[in-house]
C-alpha cells in the first residue's frame, strides 16, 4: 500500500510500515529524526497524491483536555483551537480511502465526533499509560498485541505515585510526549497494513 504518515517527524509509524514492505512516507513541518522517506512541509501539499492509507497525528497543543482550560484565560488560544479543529476536519475528510487519526482525549470528541476507540500503550507491550483516541475511516478497531498484565489499575513506568506523567519540564518535553509508542506503531503496521 501507499501510506502517508501525517504530522510525524520521528519516523516510528512510517518505519513500521516500511519494514512490512509498504511504500510509506512521513510528513511534518519538522525534519525527520531518522533517515527515510519524509516530506518536510505542509501535509496539505500532498494529501491528494493517491494514498491508500493515512495515519495522522495532528498537533494536540490546542486540542487536548490538559490545555483547554487556558482558552478562557487567554482568548488568543481559543482561536488557535478553532484552527486546530479545522485542520483535523481537513485530515478526516482527505480523499484517502482509509484513515486513522490519533490524538489525546480532548475537544475533537465533543466538537467533531467521539473517537472510535481509546487505546493505551500497555495494551501493546509498553510499560506506560497514555490514553490515546483513534478516529477511524474504513479501518477496524486496533486489537491489543502483547498486552501487559494489570490493566488500568497498574501503575506504569511513566507515572508518579499519584498517577500523573512523571516527565520533568524541559524544552523538548512536548517532543518526547508526542512520540508514538513503538508497540502501537507496530500494531498499526501489522493490522492496518494487512488489509
The residues spanned by each domain of the chain are: 2-192
- Model confidence pTM above 0.85: yes
Residue 92 pLDDT level (bands cut at 50, 70, 90): very high
Decide if pLDDT at 10 tops 80. yes
Decide if pLDDT at 165 tops 70. no
The mean pLDDT of 45-74, rounded to a whole number, is 86
* pLDDT at position 60: 83
Rg of the chain over CA atoms, in angstroms? 16
User: Is residue 187 within 8 Å of 125, Cβ to Cβ?
Assistant: no
**Per mean pLDDT, which range of 72-81, 136-145, 176-185 is the poorest?**
72-81
Distance (Å, whole) CA 195 – CA 90:
24
User: Is residue 71 within 8 Å of 77, Cβ to Cβ?
Assistant: yes
* pLDDT at position 30: 95
pLDDT in tens, 107-138: 999 999 999 999 999 999 998 888 899 999 99
Distance (Å, whole) CA 119 – CA 135:
11
% of the chain at pLDDT higher than 70: 89
Who has greater pLDDT, 76 or 134? 134
Residue 99 pLDDT level (bands cut at 50, 70, 90): very high
Distance (Å, whole) CA 148 – CA 195:
26
* Counts for the chain of helices (H) and strands (E), in that order: 7, 7
* pLDDT at position 79: 85
What is 2-192's CATH number?
Answer: 3.40.50.150
Amino acid at each position: 500500500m501507499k501510506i502517508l504518515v501525517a504530522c510525524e517527524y520521528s519516523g516510528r509509524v512510517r518505519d513500521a510500515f516500511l519494514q512490512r514492505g509498504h511504500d510509506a512516507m512521513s510528513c511534518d513541518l519538522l525534519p525527520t529524526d531518522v533517515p527515510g522517506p519524509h516530506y518536510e512541509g505542509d501535509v496539505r501539499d500532498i494529501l491528494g497524491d493517491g494514498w491508500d492509507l493515512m495515519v495522522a497525528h495532528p498537533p494536540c497543543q490546542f486540542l487536548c483536555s490538559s490545555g483547554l482550560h487556558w482558552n478562557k484565560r487567554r482568548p488568543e488560544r481559543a482561536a488557535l483551537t478553532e484552527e486546530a479543529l479545522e485542520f483535523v476536519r481537513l485530515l478526516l475528510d482527505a480523499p484517502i480511502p482509509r484513515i486513522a487519526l490519533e490524538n489525546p482525549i480532548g475537544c475533537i470528541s465533543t466538537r467533531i465526533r467521539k473517537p472510535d476507540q481509546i487505546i493505551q500503550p500497555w495494551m501493546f507491550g509498553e510499560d506506560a499509560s497514555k490514553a490515546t483516541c483513534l478516529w477511524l475511516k474504513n479501518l477496524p478497531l486496533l486489537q491489543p498485541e502483547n498486552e501487559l498484565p494489570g490493566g488500568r489499575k497498574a501503575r506504569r513506568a511513566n507515572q508518579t505515585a499519584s498517577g500523573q506523567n512523571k516527565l520533568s519540564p524541559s524544552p523538548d518535553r512536548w517532543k518526547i510526549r508526542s512520540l508514538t509508542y513503538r508497540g502501537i506503531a507496530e500494531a498499526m503496521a501489522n493490522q492496518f497494513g494487512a488489509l
